Amino acid sequence: MTSGTAVQHPSRQLASGAHIPIIGLGTFGSDRYGSAEVSAATAGAIEAGYRLIDCAAVYGNEAEIGAVLEAAFDQVAPREDFFVMSKVWNDAHRPADAVASVERSLRDLRVDHLDAVFPHWPFPNHHPPGADGDDRDPQARPYEHERFMDLWSALEALVDQGLIRHLGTSNMTIPKLELVLRDAKIRPELNEMELHPSFQQPELFRFCLDHGIQPIGYSPLGSPSRPARDRSSEDVVDIDDPVVARIAQDHQVHPALICLKWAVARGQIPIPFSVKPRQLEANLAAVLTDPLTPAELEALRSTDRNSRLIKGQVFLWPGATSWLDLWDVDGTIPGWNGYGSILEHASPRSASAQEARKRPC
Ligand SMILES: NC(=O)c1ccc[n+]([C@@H]2O[C@H](COP(=O)([O-])OP(=O)(O)OC[C@H]3O[C@@H](n4cnc5c(N)ncnc54)[C@H](OP(=O)(O)O)[C@@H]3O)[C@@H](O)[C@H]2O)c1
């Protein structure tokens, strides 16, 4: 690793006043790229100028990325120039397990603090690495707010100890976020959510901005290399969208780069993944140069097809029938009756929903 290639690129300000780069590097190998490839890509990305790295315990590569980070802090730029994020996987929601997960991420990533930590999903529902789309966890349950807040409190304690700087949520919905904002001692400052031109989530995006939560856009290119379990015949391919393609032609760039220019102009922080040096460099350059015009941004608004790619069906509980239940699409959080079916769809603010959430699993 060579020193001195730092690229000064703009940052965004979080609610607490801290700064975060406008683009980051994803590190999920999509069951396709192993930890050696992903960590080598991370080293190349840091040399190219990336300073925000989106990690997760479940990606299985934090130890290899940690070796890269340690060398980078020594040879490329000081620790304080980086924003290193990690996530607690769904099998570690119990407070003691969450603490152990963060401690392991700290050790593996070779850092004395994490800039942000997210519960990866709001459900303690597990799937084994490499699961296929039909895999289900028989112990899976709908969202239980009290349990989630137990996890959140454990993470808050790690903030108080200086091991975590900022907390974030991931794969959340407005009803769930309303509850977290109501009950959290330390509010989420970030929300990692799927965002690309064909899936713009305008209501949740607006909700986040209105509540001082910075959206982090995952799968910003439409995740063309995602695992088979996350593919279905109705999925829209962002880089083939005619509006995206036309604007790409006008700018003489790959359509993927238009997705990133759009993301940064709209206000989310995209975290594209790649193991290919040319793509990594092009992705960073795309958000620093040649911005889209207001007319192009307006045209891209019309490409929203509500096409969620990461549907999360492997996290469904016994008795649930549709992945839509994970996303509270009717504005309510499904409850659990303990007998393998959904009890009700109730407003999170209603008394019956409060009751449903209290029932033991
Ligand atoms: N919080 C969550 O639950 C969650 C869920 C999903 C993802 N994430 C995070 O978000 C990151 C990014 O999402 P993602 O990996 O699903 O999807 P993505 O970034 O939308 O797509 C990555 C793929 O796009 C292709 N690509 C990258 N740059 C390109 C370019 N300049 N031109 C053409 N193709 C390009 C590469 O395909 P090839 O491999 O063919 O080169 C790469 O594998 C992940 O790595 C992870 O950190 C978080």
| 120-152 pLDDT, tens digit each | 999 999 877 777 888 888 899 999 999 999 999
Q: How far apart are CA 144 and CA 248, in angstroms?
A: 44
Q: What percent of the chain has pLDDT over 70?
A: 91
Residue range 45-57: average pLDDT? 98
pTM for this predicted structure: 0.93
The predicted-structure confidence for 320-356, as pLDDT tens digits, reads as follows 889 999 999 999 999 886 644 444 443 443 333 333 3
Q: How far apart are CA 285 and CA 227, in angstroms?
A: 27
33, 59, 143, 218: the active-site residue: 59
Which comes out higher in pLDDT, residue 31 or 205?
205
42 falls within a domain = yes
**Residue 80: Cβ-neighbour burial (10 angstroms; 0-12, 13-18, 19+):** exposed
233 falls within a domain = yes
Lookup: tokens for 357: 């959430």
The predicted-structure confidence for 207-216, as pLDDT tens digits, reads as follows 999 999 999 9
Chain length of the chain: 361
From 39, 201, 223, 309, give the residue whose CB has the most ligand 1 atoms within 8 Å, as the site to mutate.
223
Question: Is the pLDDT score of 232 beyond 50?
Answer: yes
Q: With a 6 A CB cut-off, is 28 part of the ligand 1 pocket?
A: yes
Rounded distance from Cα 217 to ligand 1 centre (Å): 11
39 falls within a domain = yes
**Residue 306: Cβ-neighbour burial (10 angstroms; 0-12, 13-18, 19+):** exposed
pLDDT value at residue 136:
86
Q: With a 6 A CB cut-off, is 89 part of the ligand 1 pocket?
A: no
Q: How far apart are CA 38 and CA 275, in angstroms?
A: 6
Rounded distance from Cα 251 to ligand 1 centre (Å): 22
Q: With a 6 A CB cut-off, is 273 part of the ligand 1 pocket?
A: yes
CATH number at residue 53: 3.20.20.100
pLDDT value at residue 1:
64
Q: Is 120 annotated as a binding residue?
A: yes
92 falls within a domain = yes
pLDDT value at residue 338:
62
The predicted-structure confidence for 60-118, as pLDDT tens digits, reads as follows 999 999 999 999 999 999 999 999 999 999 999 999 999 999 999 999 999 999 999 99
Look up 33 and say whether it is catalytic: no
- C-alpha distances (whole Å) from 252 to each of 194, 245, 246, 266, 290 are 26, 10, 10, 21, 11
Residue range 278-302: average pLDDT? 98
pLDDT value at residue 127:
79
Rounded distance from Cα 249 to ligand 1 centre (Å): 22
Which comes out higher in pLDDT, residue 39 or 356?
39
6 falls within a domain = no
From 225, 241, 264, give the residue whose CB has the most ligand 1 atoms within 8 Å, as the site to mutate.
225
pLDDT value at residue 4:
41
3 falls within a domain = no
pLDDT value at residue 341:
45
Q: With a 6 A CB cut-off, is 170 part of the ligand 1 pocket?
A: yes
Residue range 228-240: average pLDDT? 93
Q: What percent of the chain has pLDDT over 90?
A: 84
Rounded distance from Cα 218 to ligand 1 centre (Å): 8
pLDDT value at residue 358:
31
Of the candidates 131, 138, 126, 52, which has an alpha carbon nearest to the alpha carbon of residue 89? 126
Q: How far apart are CA 241 and CA 197, in angstroms?
A: 9
Helices (H) and strands (E) in the chain, counts: 11, 12
For ligand 1, atom 33, name the residue with the nearest CA. 256
Lookup: tokens for 289: 């140069």
Rounded distance from Cα 222 to ligand 1 centre (Å): 7
264 falls within a domain = yes
Q: With a 6 A CB cut-off, is 123 part of the ligand 1 pocket?
A: no
Left if phi > 0, otherwise alpha if psi is -120 to 50, otherwise beta: which for 306? left
Domain that holds residue 153: 11-358
Question: What's the domain count of the chain?
Answer: 1
pLDDT value at residue 8:
59
Residue range 301-310: average pLDDT? 97
Residue range 310-323: average pLDDT? 92
4 falls within a domain = no
Helices (H), 161-276: 174-183, 202-210, 242-251, 255-266
Q: With a 6 A CB cut-off, is 110 part of the ligand 1 pocket?
A: no
For ligand 1, atom 10, name the residue with the nearest CA. 218
Question: Is the pLDDT score of 221 beyond 50?
Answer: yes
Query: Which atom belonging to ligand 1 lies closest to the Cα atom of 56?
Result: 47
Q: With a 6 A CB cut-off, is 49 part of the ligand 1 pocket?
A: no
The predicted-structure confidence for 64-77, as pLDDT tens digits, reads as follows 999 999 999 999 99
Of all residues in the chain, what percent are helix, strand and coil, respectively (each to 5)?
A: 40, 15, 45
